[in-house]
């Protein structure tokens, strides 16, 4: 190719057909920058700039690659950058899939926690001894968590507030996530510094 000035940095003449959007530079930013000797891409590691640089690199990526590397011709540049674009999209899809999967897990956990909360309130509302222990006008103010213990059951912890104060609820579940028992406990008694608890078996 005549007048090929690729690899001459800022002195390189950039052919008009070089400038195309570069998805590889957009998605892979600093990784793409290192392999393409375009170290300005490392700015994407800095706060604030990490939101700006992907768009800059996507717009200027081909030009930067042309200036900072030697190419036989423009076609070779485009073939190489196309491979980077494919790699960039694969990376992006993996990240999107991971984020989506994580959000689905969080949603299912929240949904399950809400179900357990409503079931607990139903059990408490139908137990006369509960009102004597925790008082009236109670509600669960903090959602619980679930965890598997010795592969036999799960425990779900909630924080309950009533007219008598704050209580902790430990809910033991079977493998089908059905409530087997509920322990209501008050952290401590200001008078005798002893904790109080009550067990309920639905």
Of 68, 60, 62, the closest CA to residue 6 belongs to 68
DSSP 8-state class, residue 37 = T
Of 116, 155, 120, the closest CA to residue 139 belongs to 120
Q: What are the tens digits of pLDDT across the range 20-55?
A: 999 999 999 999 999 999 999 999 999 999 999 999
Share above pLDDT 70 across residues of the chain, in percent, rounded to a whole number: 90
What's the average model confidence in pLDDT over 79-84?
98
Mean residue pLDDT of the chain comes to: 88
CB under 8 A, 24+ apart: contacts of 6-10: 6/66, 6/67, 6/69, 6/70, 6/71, 6/77, 7/67, 7/68, 7/69, 7/70, 7/71, 8/67, 9/67, 9/68, 10/67
pLDDT band at 96 (very low <50, low <70, confident <90, very high): very high
In the predicted model, is pLDDT for residue 84 greater than 80? yes
Q: How far is CA 118 from CA 47, 122, 124, in A?
A: 43, 6, 10
In the predicted model, is pLDDT for residue 191 greater than 70? no
DSSP 8-state class, residue 23 = H
Share above pLDDT 90 across residues of the chain, in percent, rounded to a whole number: 48
In the predicted model, is pLDDT for residue 163 greater than 90? no
């Amino acid at each position: 190719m005549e007048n090929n000035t690729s690899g001459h940095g800022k002195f390189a003449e950039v052919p008009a057909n070089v400038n195309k959007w570069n998805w590889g530079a957009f998605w892979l930013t600093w990784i793409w920058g290192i392999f393409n000797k375009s170290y300005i891409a490392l700015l994407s590691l800095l706060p604030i700039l990490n939101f700006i640089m992907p768009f800059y690199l996507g717009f200027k990526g081909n030009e930067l690659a042309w200036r900072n590397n030697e190419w036989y011709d423009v076609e070779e540049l485009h073939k190489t950058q196309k491979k980077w674009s494919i790699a960039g999209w694969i990376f992006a899809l993996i990240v999107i899939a991971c984020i989506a999967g994580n959000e689905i897990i969080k949603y299912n956990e929240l949904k399950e926690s809400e179900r357990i909360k409503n079931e607990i309130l139903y059990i408490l509302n139908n137990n006369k001894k509960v009102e004597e222990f925790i008082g009236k006008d109670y509600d669960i103010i903090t959602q619980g968590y679930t965890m598997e213990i010795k592969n036999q059951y799960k425990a779900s912890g909630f924080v309950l507030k009533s007219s008598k104060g704050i209580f902790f609820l430990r809910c033991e579940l079977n493998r089908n996530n059905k409530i087997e028992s509920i322990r209501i406990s008050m952290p401590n008694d200001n008078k005798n510094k002893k904790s109080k608890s009550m067990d309920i078996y639905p």
